[in-house]
Structure 1
Amino acid sequence: MTSSIPAVGTRTAEAATLQAVFLDLDGTLVDTEGFWWEAETEVFAELGHILDDTHREVVVGGPMTRSAGYLIQATGAQIGLAELSLRLNASFVARIGRGVPLMPGARRLLAELAAHQVPTALVSASHRTIIDRMLHSLGREHFRLTLAGDDLERTKPHPDPYLTAAARLGVDPARCAVVEDTMTGVTAGEAAGCRVVAVPSVMPIPAAPGRTIVGSLEEVDLSFLRSLITESP
């Protein structure tokens, strides 16, 4: 069967079209990275360990299993991975139950993408239960697809979440824009061949060829995202 996807390097009008937008959740659309760190420090304090900020750079943006496993190893805490994951999720859920603040520009961007019927996917390393709770604040209707960290065998920084999102939406990853706030997410998006916009939240993200870095979502709109595909090599 002949592929309908133009060969890499062709400059057809179709090749210059934005096909879909993939958005991260924590720290990108919702201001919750601090919530996760509070949950981690709270649970480990209960276990008799004080977490200092040197650990935060490692755990930010990562899947629960990686973050929890790292913290167990770093502290020597006497707790299993499954039990720790449950306790961290419970602590985080208690915090988001009091309300989830959206990042500046997030609501406007979601509304614009929906108004122009741009296929939009929420792609997160958070667990499905967490995503489903936060969709009440974000609006489930804004997303054609949602992918959680526990929906796949491998999550960020592997490209699998973004490749899966593209496959399920029937789009070419090279014509999709990814918006992420951590190096973990940026690595996943770039490995999938997407055009990545980095909006650093907790930790800085270094400049790199083909990577676009902005100060906040207030700088991101549909015209801006379309331009990334038009300008892609």
Structure 2
Amino acid sequence: MTSPLPEAEVVGSRLPEAVLFDMDGTLFDSEKLWDVGLDDLARHLGGSLSHSARVTMIGAPLALSMEILHADLGRPDLDVESSGAWLEDRMRELFLTALVWRPGARELLAAVRAARVPTALVTATRRNLVEVALDTLGRENFDAVVCGDEVAHSKPHPEPYLRAAALLGVNPGDCVAVEDSVNGTASAEAAGCPVLVVPSEAPVPAGPRRVHRESLAGVGLPELAAVLRAVA
């Protein structure tokens, strides 16, 4: 259900000091690609991944996802690093050939850049895969990039969003984070960011610093300004 956003006009409205974008499920419809990769890995390991375990992985760092997978398969003895390396090799193949923008995401990113509002990419995905994705996203579209293997604590910990804000030299409370998952939304909210939540694969509960929409289609600068007003 889309939460009503207050009407906003760009002129006279306070725009965010920066916009902090999640990647998987937010800019790209890539959670479906992770579904493919994780199912392939589960079969490679001799089992099948349950839906409940898959939902728990959304927005989680790679090592935790591998622990969840191994437990789901009844194989906690398996090596997290080996499974993670296998999955990343498979995901690199999928990222090279099958990345698709989510509705409205490319247009929103372009509008933010045209307005010269600083941007960061804040993702739990590791740098080697993010580098592949940036060939489609456009490296020039981000003033900072924070990857899952570049922080001590990944999402849902606030560190990724705190680091992104620090790299841009802005207060997290003056930014808008754009997220799709429970873990990512919790990370941004804990960092103090107002969050525009556009769920992809699983519902995200309401919260005091969260504005929900069903899609980024039609979202532009007025809607981002309205997010700041809605959580003030």
Distance in 1 (CA, whole Å) between partners of 2:197 and 2:173 is 16
Range moving further from structure 2, 79-88 or 93-102:
93-102
Q: Equivalent of 1:33, from 31, 34, 43?
A: 31
Deviations 1:105-126 (A, max 9, x none): 1111111111110000000000
* Match in the other structure for 2:150: 151
- In the TM superposition, what whole-angstrom CA distance separates every residue of 1:147-198 from its partner, at most 9, and x where no partner exists? 1000111110000000011111110111010000000000001000000011
1:29, distance to aligned residue in structure 2 (A)? 0.3
Q: Please give the alpha-carbon distance, in whole angstroms, between the structure 1 residues aligned to 2:72 and 2:26.
A: 27
Query: C-alpha separation between the residues in 2 aligned to 1:209 and 1:113?
Result: 24
Q: 1:68 aligns with which of 63, 66, 69?
A: 66
What code does the residue aligned with 2:186 have?
T
Separation in structure 1 between the aligned mates of residue 151 and residue 205 of structure 2, nearest angstrom: 28
Q: Following TM superposition, by how much is the alpha carbon of 1:232 offset from its aligned partner in structure 2, in angstroms?
A: 3.4
Gaps of 5+ in 2: 1-13
**Which ranges of structure 1 fall in alignment gaps of 5 or more residues?**
1-15
Residue in 1 that maps onto 2:223: 224
Residue-pair matches, total: 219
Q: 1:26·1:32 contact (CA, 8 Å) conserved in 2?
A: yes
159-168 vs 210-219, which deviates more?
A: 210-219
Q: Does structure 1 conserve the Cα–Cα contact (< 8 Å) formed by 2:21 and 2:179?
A: yes
- Larger RCO, structures 1/2 (Cα 8 Å, 6+ apart): 2
The list of structure 1 runs, each at least 4 consecutive aligned residues, that deviate by more than 3 angstroms after superposition, is: none
Give the partner amino acid of 1:194.
C
Partner of 2:6: none
TM-score (norm 2): 0.90
Distance 1:97 1:167 in 2: 31
Q: Which residue of 2 aligns with 1:9?
A: none
Residue 187 of structure 1 aligns to a residue whose secondary structure is: helix
**Cα offset, 1:217, TM superposition:** 0.9
The residue type equivalent to 2:184 in the other structure is G
For the 8 Å contact 2:22–2:179, the answer to whether it is kept is yes
Task: Quote how far apart the aligned CAs of 1:17 are.
Answer: 4.8
1:158 touches 1:187 (CA, 8 Å); kept in 2? yes
Identity %: 38
Q: Write the mapping of 1:144-223 to structure 2, written as runs, cut at 5 A.
A: 144-223=143-222
| TM-score between both structures, scaled by the size of structure 1 | 0.90
The match for 2:45 among 44, 47, 50 is 47
Cα deviation digits, residues 198-233 of structure 1 (max 9, x gap): 100000112222310101111421111112223433
Match of 1:59 among 57, 60, 64: 57
- Quick check: 2:16–2:174 contact (8 Å CA) kept in 1? yes
- The letter for the 2-side match of 1:140 is R
Question: Does the 8 Å contact 2:19/2:175 carry over to 1?
Answer: yes
Q: Distance in 1 between matches of 2:34 and 2:216?
A: 21
Query: Aligned pair in 2 of structure 1 residues 24, 94: CA closer, same or farther (>3 Å)?
Result: same
CA distance in 1, matches of 2:209, 2:132: 34
Moved more, 199-208 or 123-132: 199-208
Indicate the RMSD between aligned Cα atoms, in angstroms.
1.4
Tell me, in whole angstroms, the C-alpha distance in 2 between the residues paired with 1:208 and 1:145.
27
1:97 Cα shift? Answer: 1.7
Q: Is the CA contact (8 Å cut-off) linking 1:17 and 1:230 kept in structure 2?
A: no
Letter in 2 for 1:85: G
